[in-house]
Amino acid sequence: MKWLITTVVVFLLLSAAGQNTTNPKLGIPRRSDPVRLWSVDLSKDSDFQTRLKVPETVLRPPMLDFVSNDQIIVSFDDNVPTTDLPSMNPYGFHVLQVSSDSGKVGKRLLFKVLNDTSQAVPISGDGFVVLAGEELLKYSSTFEKSIGIPTPLELHGQPTKMILTDRVFFNPHYETWQVDVAPCGQQLVLTHRETPKQMEISWVRSSDFTVVATAKVEPSRHVAGGDDSALLWDPKLRVTSDGTQTPFCIGSAQCFRAYFVTDDLLLLDKGKKYEIVTLGGERRAGGHLNVNIPQFSRSMNARRFAYATSHYKGSGFPIQTQFSPEMRVRIFDWGTMKQVAEIPFAKPEQSVMTGFRQSAIALSHDGRNVAVLIDSILSLYQLPE
């Protein structure tokens, strides 16, 4: 009888403890860890399936965003631009609607394009904009089109003939457009690279596409948009809507990327570490990275952002023989300046490895969920409060 009572007491104690902690060896999540709600394989979708026929080493990674807490969009190319030809052939840029409740694919959009510069980005008011072809279009979260403005190209997307020394070169990125959205979601930053030496930035209201301001700047391959300024990654300049240009990452030997956390806070990718600084350069937080921040997503209505950092396990010095890719998705609260969650991912070592190149992340508007797309597997995780 005494043995039975002892066994029951031990069982109850373990059960009570199991409500808050778990066995780490079994990999069971603790109460405060992210919980995977569902996973779906997009390779079963006919549109997404098309892109899987193209080698992932040359294919542009997909894009992932929440347009509302209930709706996710997955946007992607189904091919790559034609190369080494004076005339390029069209292919498809797709936008899929995915329910955050179930992962079920709903409505879809298809745009015929010539180049890998198309985008779909969320805006405030549960909607998104699509930059494809020669037009910027606005859609609701239910995929209803409303307004649009032209984004004309002199050669309508075909490459521009250039001469480098004695070689003729057809430049497909001679003239391009790019769009980003400010943290508030109410302002778009539309960049038009007119020539390899000149670019125009326009601040556009997302509600009615009214142009608020413009500025001429040095071209940059990547631009991060703010409410009244923009970050040029390549020359490392912050450009305000009145045309003022100010360097950022001053005195830093390494500063690869920069993202707007808010209109007043920046996330700086410094290779092996990150820093959160004010526009004035005051450091607020920092931490370790595996290698860089290739993916970033911020919550539109909560004080959180997410980023991915990855590397090959076994890399470094001394050189090891096992090189399996690993990625960690981290969620950060910029109100408390603390990390609130981390989700690790790993792949086995393969003869030809591209790591997590074909992956994307997105944080919900309320900051409670994060979506992660790896290759063709889309998963949704619930985050701790």
Indicate yes or no: pTM above 0.85.
yes
Residue 135 CB burial class (10 angstroms; 0-12, 13-18, ≥19): middle
Tally helices (H) and strands (E) across the chain.
Answer: 2, 30
Task: Say whether the peptide bond before residue 294 is cis (omega within 30 degrees of 0).
Answer: no
pLDDT tens track, the chain, 385 positions:
444 444 433 334 334 433 333 333 333 444 478 999 999 999 999 999 999 999 988 999 999 999 999 999 999 999 999 876 788 999 999 999 999 999 999 999 999 999 999 999 999 988 999 999 999 999 999 999 999 999 999 999 999 998 877 788 889 999 999 999 999 999 999 999 999 899 999 999 999 999 999 999 999 989 999 999 999 988 899 999 999 999 988 766 688 899 999 999 999 999 999 999 999 889 999 999 988 999 999 999 999 999 999 877 765 555 555 678 899 999 999 999 999 999 999 988 765 567 788 999 999 999 999 999 999 999 999 999 8
Amino acid, res. 283? R
DSSP codes of every residue in 64-113: EEESSSSEEEEEEESS----S-SSPPPEEEEEEEEETTT--EEEEEEEEE
DSSP codes of every residue in 207-254: TT--EEEEEEE---S-EEE-SSEEEETTTTEEEETTS-EEE-STT-S-
Is the torsion defined by CA of 287, 289, 293, 299 positive or negative? Answer: negative
- Give φ, ψ of 356 to 5 degrees: -110, 35
List Cα–Cα distances, 382 to 66, 98, 100, 235, 342, in angstroms. 14, 16, 11, 38, 12
Q: Residue 215 is encoded by which pair of tokens?
A: 């500025």
List 127's β-bridge partners, or say none: 123, 140
How many other CB atoms are there within 10 angstroms of residue 38's CB atom? 14
